[in-house]
Structure 1
């Protein structure tokens, strides 16, 4: 009666599973770079669960896409602990909101709670310039008040921890004008405050400092080298302010994505244009820019699941250093390049031959890294076995019995589960599990 009663209770738990599908979200806010073992919050308290329940129902942390488990659960205390380093810049780059999603899974009955961990930025990056020095060539005929664009400093942090301003080392010829572009981005212009005389002084050197708004404040410097010579009075002009392109994630290396183009009204060396990326970033490793033709080509592996949109700043500089800038936006489209994968989360093995039809014997989780319809997955098992798959919460399935088992007729079952996505062409994967039927004393002596 105890074995039969246990499986009756499991059957009831399976029914309850469909009654308790409404699961609440729990949100926490923590600073990035918390040490491993740090306490994020108390799951038991925040979900209203008593501590014994966590252990009895096999409470654990899962990820929405079976990616990195950044947290772990201490079932003895109910504390949610930091398991892996969470670097906001690595996870979310410049996005204002950075959320790591984890899930609390409890069994018998199956219950799922989403955990949203908001990662707050700390000032762990200093402003940096693209180059170690900025070289400018300015004609001695330049008039007082003339402006010269300086390279923008970049800081991987956001908000107050990003670049807040610039300062210029005191010198006899130039002042600094700080301007804004985009949302919160700042750059500097040199303003000529005293007319130049090449015969008097043909080179001028001073420092430009970029500082952020964090506490404590961080800064970065670059040396400015000015060479005084004669007249280049036109900067290059791009044919477009913004260039846009779209390409599939399986685009071959070497393919031309787009071509930027700028013209300069000057002649000779003053009109010779060189193209370059505005600053060093991961995008510069994925795409290659021809400095002479302006062609942007695929230079590395593109993966939609890793990044679906690239935005880059490209400069056009003439022979004497005057420059203008354009934005390149490349959108990556998804293809069905990831097959579904099946994870066995729980399995009762062996199972007694008198188990009731409808009893839950296993739990599976199915994931597909693609997007939209390419990640929609159907799961099936072979026919002629007394089992079926029942969809549960999100991408979870329960394996349940459909008929009476008899160990004397069949003692083992090899069950193959197949997951197929809805991409074109569809991709699929399979997983085979072996279930044994345990004997009970259900036959009289003969």
Structure 2
């Protein structure tokens, strides 16, 4: 009985020491996107204190986290971490403020696992773009000074200072530009009538709208504002709600009706006919939802994946027959369903195993992941009974011994 207790204590101590030796903390690097293949990021051998000459013998390699692509590699001759493939921040992280790639350095004999977090910095490699080249308005000559006309928002795939920072228009005697910052980030602009229009003097106006980002060098995009001067249209459409909110399971089938928006216009005839359209839609929302321009029904039109994006926010514009517009915000929260099975990745495995191997010797590292969230993403692991192996769990990693 005493000998068995002593052996158990020894195994527990061995497992504790193994945990200290096998997983050795995080290494972080930060560099801009679009770096050339082969660019040296840093020397990891010096950082973790491993002799360069031993990297090959210890089978040093870089693995990606889960099913993600391997963007970094290790030069076994120098111990340098190098860029292995093109890194496009916008393609990887969209508009998220922080973009982190998770890679892992694996060493064997003895086993070591170093997590590498690569912080990808944005560069100004995208120009602002408007949804349409021409923005059309039909404005009554009876419109009063100070009337405001919402303009399309320019989209820039970059983030932070490299995104759209300002709008401007060429000098004219009828309109000025008012730029508004949105609470969730981003900017849009409005035309403000400074001098009443006179259809008898001028039936049409053309004004160039410019969106400029804050990068170095600066990039810009343009759209043409085309104003047709008409007679009275006294009321703009008014939405029934300033903000529409809906909740939707991620496995919702195509053509599922998410919500119906509604705006009314006090005018009659063509002046009171309201049509709906999405204002600027981000790349993440594009082709996922459709909007019926007549009924205001928003339907599912593409694949929805909670693990890719859990919330969609879109701006919907209501426009009457002669061009007066108003807008409302639609927020759709996606709920998670258990649609992902756990994935198992063998990080390292000693095979075959000598029959005289000592108890407590580590023989492999297994990584288990589930892309679902909360309880749907919790994984329980079991090992087959009546086999001479045991395991312990460290974060998402299982060590067999």
CA contact (8 A) 2:14 2:360 kept: no
Instruction: State the distance in 2 between where 1:368 and 1:295 align.
Output: 35
Q: Which residue of 2 aligns with 1:25?
A: 26
Q: What RMSD, in angstroms, separates the aligned Cα atoms of the two structures?
A: 2.3
Q: Report whether the alignment pairs 1:298 with 2:300.
A: yes
Mean Cα displacement is larger for which, 356-365 or 120-129?
Answer: 356-365
Instruction: State the distance in 1 between where 2:152 and 2:233 align.
Output: 19
| SS in structure 1 at match of 2:156 | coil
Q: Give the number of the structure whose alpha-carbon radius of gyration is greater.
A: 1
Long gaps (5+) in structure 1: 1-11, 401-446
CA gap of 1:178–1:383, structure 2 versus 1, over 3 A, is: closer
CA contact (8 A) 1:14 1:109 kept: no
Aligned residue-pair number: 389
| SS in structure 1 at match of 2:127 | coil
Mean Cα displacement is larger for which, 361-370 or 134-143?
Answer: 361-370
1:355-395 CA-to-partner distances (Å, cap 9, x unmatched) read: 3344433332222222222222233343343x224124323
| SS in structure 2 at match of 1:250 | coil
Tell me how far 1:298 sits from its aligned partner: 1.0
Instruction: State the distance in 1 between where 2:225 and 2:246 align.
Output: 35
CA gap of 1:65–1:140, structure 2 versus 1, over 3 A, is: same
Tell me how far 1:172 sits from its aligned partner: 4.0
Mean Cα displacement is larger for which, 85-94 or 388-397?
Answer: 388-397
Long gaps (5+) in structure 2: 1-12
Aligned residue runs from structure 1 range 434-445, under 5 A: none
1:237-274 CA-to-partner distances (Å, cap 9, x unmatched) read: 22222221122111111111112222222222112111
CA contact (8 A) 1:66 1:367 kept: no
Aligned residue runs from structure 1 range 166-205, under 5 A: 166-205=167-206
CA gap of 1:284–1:22, structure 2 versus 1, over 3 A, is: closer
CA contact (8 A) 1:389 1:397 kept: no
CA gap of 1:207–1:360, structure 2 versus 1, over 3 A, is: same
Q: Which residue of 2 aligns with 1:284?
A: 286
1:117-143 CA-to-partner distances (Å, cap 9, x unmatched) read: 222111111111111101100111123
1:325-358 CA-to-partner distances (Å, cap 9, x unmatched) read: 1111111122111112222333333333333344
Q: Which residue of 1 aligns with 2:155?
A: 154
Instruction: State the distance in 1 between where 2:330 and 2:52 align.
Output: 54
Q: Report whether the alignment pairs 1:229 with 2:230.
A: yes
Q: Report whether the alignment pairs 1:374 with 2:358.
A: no
The runs of at least 4 aligned residues of structure 1 exceeding 6 Å deviation read 12-15
| SS in structure 2 at match of 1:90 | helix
| SS in structure 2 at match of 1:351 | coil
Match of 2:356 among 354, 357, 365: 354
Mean Cα displacement is larger for which, 46-55 or 123-132?
Answer: 46-55
CA gap of 1:388–1:126, structure 2 versus 1, over 3 A, is: same
Instruction: State the distance in 2 between where 1:309 and 1:184 align.
Output: 15
CA contact (8 A) 1:13 1:108 kept: no
| SS in structure 1 at match of 2:372 | coil
